[in-house]
Amino acid sequence: MPKLVVKNLRKMFGTFEALKDVSFQVEEKETLCLLGPSGCGKTTILRIIAGLEVPTSGEVFLDGVLVNDLPPQRRQIGLVFQDYAIFPHLSVFENIAYGLRVRKMSEAELVKKVRETASLVDVESILDLPSKKLGLSEMQRVAVGRSLALDPKLLLLDEPLSNIDAKARERMRTELGKLQKEIGIATVYVTHDQLEAMTLADRIAVMRNGLIEQIGTASEIYDNARTLFVANFIGSPPMNLMDCEVVYDGNRVILKSGDLALDVTEFAETVRGKGEGEELVLGIRPEDLSLDVQKTNPSAIEAKVQLVEPIGARSIYHLRIGGLTVLAKGYAMPDVNVGSNLWATFNKDKVHLFDKKTEEAVV
């Protein structure tokens, strides 16, 4: 039985439909990430699961039990806020113990539980420290520990790394990932940061405008984007997307975009359902373009370098191909500069095609 099941969730704020028929489930010990831009409905889902918002329609089940009418304190859900909400005037021990005291647990049981939880989140050595002296990483662990001390069935994390500088965020993302594996509790994690989602989640639900556009593992979503939005949102740098039209040349199938013509005859069976001149969107990720200073592949296309962004052993090349600006990511070529001519080869096994009208994947 799944730990959490969300079925046909809708939420209206006046005339604004914040959530539109959202459904998903989370298995025991699984981390599901709700990923999407601000305002897409991620936090609204989290608040409904926690009991802080009432859905307009739809159902939330925890361990097979409908919890729509249960108040937050009876749902056995742990919630870690964006700002951690640590009580600065209390010690680490008292922060973790806070919920246990509210439940009127005996002192002996409370001390045992706090120490067990502190060991789990690795804050045993600072239990007596005033919380106002904690670093961000320690605050994160205390916030998670305070939720875990109550033995929740489900842990909800609402953008816990969003207010932290990039270097600290990278370190804390690693620590949080290790912690999640250690505690092994079903978790729903909300973020707008795709790197966080792809690093921490077992599965990702990509959201836009109150809907889940695609749900799957990081590799499934990255390699097989089902919509234009997902293709463009996932990946850094993002996927190259080029408007094109279908052209038939005998048995050959050509996708034409300005001066660029790409032979996709291997996709003929799929593309032939489209009429001559029908518009598609061609997608190719920057790392799926191969670059060479000479034309060693007969299908290579000439490209002019507009900008080079060095990123260590690799570089991101901004190219002009047939009137289009295309990004390619590959090993650094020291002799290649702005104005250089290169030859770019599309890895056709990695080409994505989308219907321009529906924005849904064709290939």
- What ranges do the domains of the chain cover? 4-233, 240-355
Mean pLDDT over the full length of the chain: 89
Give the DSSP letter of residue 92: H
Cα torsion 176, 181, 187, 189 to 10°: value is: 30
| Least reliable range by pLDDT among 299-303, 306-310, 317-321, 325-329 | 299-303
For residues 210-234, average pLDDT: 95
Q: Which long-range contacts (CB under 8 A, 24 or more apart) does 255-260 make?
A: 255/280, 255/282, 255/353, 257/282, 257/322, 257/324, 258/322, 258/323, 258/324, 259/322, 259/323, 260/301, 260/321, 260/322, 260/323, 260/324
Domain spanning 4-233: which superfamily?
P-loop containing nucleotide triphosphate hydrolases (3.40.50.300)
The pLDDT value given to residue 164: 65
| Least reliable range by pLDDT among 1-5, 141-145, 340-344 | 141-145
pLDDT at 15 over 70: yes
The pLDDT value given to residue 111: 94
For residues 205-216, average pLDDT: 97
Q: Closest Cα partner for 180 from 195, 204, 200, 153?
A: 200
**Which conformational region is residue 284 in: left (phi greater than 0), alpha (psi within -120 to 50 degrees), or beta?**
beta
The pTM assigned to this predicted structure is 0.86
The pLDDT value given to residue 325: 92
| Buried b or exposed e, range 151-160, using 16+ CB within 10 angstroms | ebbbbbbbbb
Kindly report the CATH number that applies to the domain delimited by 240-355. Answer: 2.40.50.140
The pLDDT value given to residue 276: 58
The pLDDT value given to residue 224: 94
pLDDT at 361 over 70: yes
The pLDDT value given to residue 349: 85
For residues 174-181, average pLDDT: 76
> For residue 342, what are its two tokens?
């290169």
End-to-end CA distance of the chain: 34
pLDDT at 341 over 70: yes
For residue 81, give the amino acid letter.
F
